[in-house]
Amino acid sequence: MKIGAPKESASGEARVAMTPASAKDLQKLGYECLVQKGAGEAAGFSDAAYKEAGVSVVSGAALWKDADIVAKVRPPTDAEAKKLSGNQTLISFFYPASNEKLMETAKGQGASVIAMDMVPRISRAQKMDALSSMANIAGYRAVIEAGNNFGRFFTGQVTAAGKVPPAKVLVVGAGVAGLAAIGTSTSLGAITLAFDVRPEVAEQIESMGAEFVYLDFEEEAQDGSATGGYAAVSSPEFAEAQLKKFRELAPDVDIVITTALIPNRDAPILWTKDMVEMMKPGSVIVDLAAERGGNCELTVADEKIVTDNDVTIVGYTDFPSRMAAQSSLLYSNNIRHMMTDLTPEKDGQVAHDMEDDVIRGATITHEGEITWPPPPPKTKAIAAQPKKDKPKELTPEEKRAEEVAAFKKETMTQVTALGFGGALILAVGLV
């Protein structure tokens, strides 16, 4: 079978779903690899590099016609979805909850669609977790972007010209992107504060050299955790306690990086207009939730704005694409691992096993049917273990009797050994 990566059609998208390195791995699984002419150039992968790796460089029309598996980054456009046929499999980000019409189109074409954003968040599927791969890059890039707009050092310095205080960075949300931002910020020497509604991440944050921001809220330990590594909706009282704490921090921090998202909802507003007005001139906010409305009340998606009090708010939604080479390498590896699971015999043939939890969870259309949302994961009940009888607790007298018996046994062993040794020495002397 043939697997192909077309050139991304979304404006400004520089990533590509197949690199020369991943193509070599796919060929080891028995696949013939195709790539659209120029698909990898924006990410630094030339057509010549693909040809050297044994990939056929073809036109876009030929790729959509000939490829049995089409691997993309962004969800397909409606026109691209209509190019699919019943014998094709599409692998890409898809976001089915917000693309129901597109999902219907794919179903109508009879194609199988594997959504990389729907890969279950279980240990076995971590190697295919493209959302985490991209979030890791976004968190790193957010700090670099903040530094580029901040105009001062992250680390403190003492120079002949005077003392330079370190920057103070607040990261809101400690998921994959947040942890990447925390790690980058601390490595650059900034004083890093971090907040998350899941108190269990405090130890992880502190182990990275950052300070966890605690709330004076008695329900904190019970609030905010949800399945799949995401945060849940907070109670109104908890949300108000968050905002109160952020208002206390706003005048003191130089950089704010927000990463908070709730599945299938708009991003929660955590940094309000009055907090922005309280910040020092020259401060920077980088809103990684801009695509879902933003965590900052003033964020404008895909734009960088400067407020009247000289606070820069960065609302870019393409941070992974701004590091296209690294993003493409990681994403293509996620695709390759998915193909490995789809090709258990390594014979270049897709075995779409709907009994496999990972493949079933990520498949949103198959054989002319919509298969999203997936059923709950299978769980195996663990039989109750029979109760073990507790050993009888000995009285002080019984314990003493056991100790005496053990001592006598050990003494007899030593006496026997000494007697045997003496007899042996005597026998040797007689000889």
Q: What is the DSSP string of 295-340?
A: SBTT--TT-EEE-TTS-EEE--S-TTGGGHHHHHHHHHHHHHHHHH
Instruction: Report residues of the chain scoring pLDDT below 50.
Output: 220-223
In a domain, 381, yes or no: no
The full DSSP string for 385-414 is PPPPPPPPPPPHHHHHHHHHHHHHHHHHHH
CB 205 within 8 A of CB 228: no
Q: How far apart are CA 90 and CA 119, in angstroms?
A: 14
| 22, 369 Cβ separation under 8 angstroms | no
pTM given for the model? 0.84
Q: Are residues 349 and 258 in the same domain?
A: no
CA distance 215 to 392: 48
Q: Is the domain of 168 the same as that of 291?
A: yes
Q: How many of the other CB atoms lie within 10 Å of CB of 84?
A: 22
* Domains contained in the chain, number: 3
Helix (H) or strand (E) holding 369: strand 369-370
Q: Looking at the structure, do residues 117 and 102 belong to the same domain, yes or no? A: yes
Question: Can you give the pLDDT at residue 199?
Answer: 87
Q: Which of 4, 185, 184 is nearest to 84 (CA)?
A: 4
Q: CATH code at 244?
A: 3.40.50.720
Those residues whose C-beta lies under 8 Å from the C-beta of residue 298, and which sit 6 or more positions away, are: 273, 276, 305, 307, 313
pLDDT confidence of residue 77: 97
Are both 101 and 182 inside the same structural domain?
no
For 221-233, give the DSSP string: GGSSB-GGGPBPP
Task: Looking at the structure, tell me whether residues 265 and 181 fall in a common domain.
Answer: yes
Task: Give the CA count within 13 Å in the CB-facing half-sphere of 147.
Answer: 18
Q: Say if residue 194 is in the same domain as residue 222.
A: yes
Statement to judge: residues 291 and 237 lie in one domain: yes
- Report the amino acid identity of residue 420: F
306 near 312, Cβ under 8 Å?
yes
Per-residue pLDDT, 403: 64
Q: Where are the alpha helices (DSSP H) in 172-261?
A: 176-187, 202-207, 236-249
pLDDT, position 187: 98
Tokens 């809103």, residue located: 287
Residues 328 and 422 reside in one and the same domain? no
Cα separation, 68 vs 97, in Å, equals: 26
Cβ–Cβ contacts within 10 Å for residue 148, how many?
Answer: 11
Q: Does residue 7 fall inside a structural domain?
A: yes
Residue 262: the pLDDT is 87
* Separation between Cα atoms, residue 59 and residue 37, nearest integer Å: 6
Question: Which pLDDT belongs to residue 165?
Answer: 96
Q: Are strands 162-164 and 157-159 parallel, antiparallel or unpaired?
A: antiparallel
Does any domain span residue 97? yes
Structural domain contains residue 378: no
Active site members? 121, 126, 129, 132, 230
116-159: per-residue pLDDT in tens? 999 999 999 999 999 999 999 999 999 999 999 999 999 999 99
pLDDT attached to residue 220: 46
Task: Note whether 283 and 335 are same-domain residues.
Answer: no
Q: What is the pLDDT of residue 380?
A: 54
DSSP string of 52-107? HTTPEEE-HHHHHHH-SEEE-SSPPPHHHHTT--TT-EEEE---GGG-HHHHHHHH
- Residues 234-269: pLDDT tens digits? 788 999 999 999 999 999 999 999 999 988 789 999
The answer to whether residues 19 and 161 belong to one domain is: no
**74 within a domain of the structure (yes/no):** yes
Domain range holding 355? Answer: 2-128+324-370
Q: Are strands 304-306 and 69-71 parallel, antiparallel or unpaired?
A: unpaired
- Does the N-terminal peptide bond of residue 373 adopt cis geometry, omega within 30 degrees of 0? yes
Asked if residue 383 is part of any domain, the answer here is: no
- Report the 10 Å Cβ neighbour count for 105: 19
Residue 338 domain-assigned (yes or no): yes
Dihedral angle over CA of 418, 424, 427, 431, nearest 10: -140
Contacting residues for 368 by C-beta, under 8 A, at least 6 apart: 86, 107, 110
Predicted local confidence at residue 428, as pLDDT: 54
Within-domain flag for 43: yes
Torsion of CA 289, 201, 170, 260, to 10 degrees: 10
204 and 92 in a common domain: no
Tell me: do 123 and 137 sit in the same domain: no
Distances (CA, A) of 266 to 107, 305, 316, 418: 27, 21, 16, 84
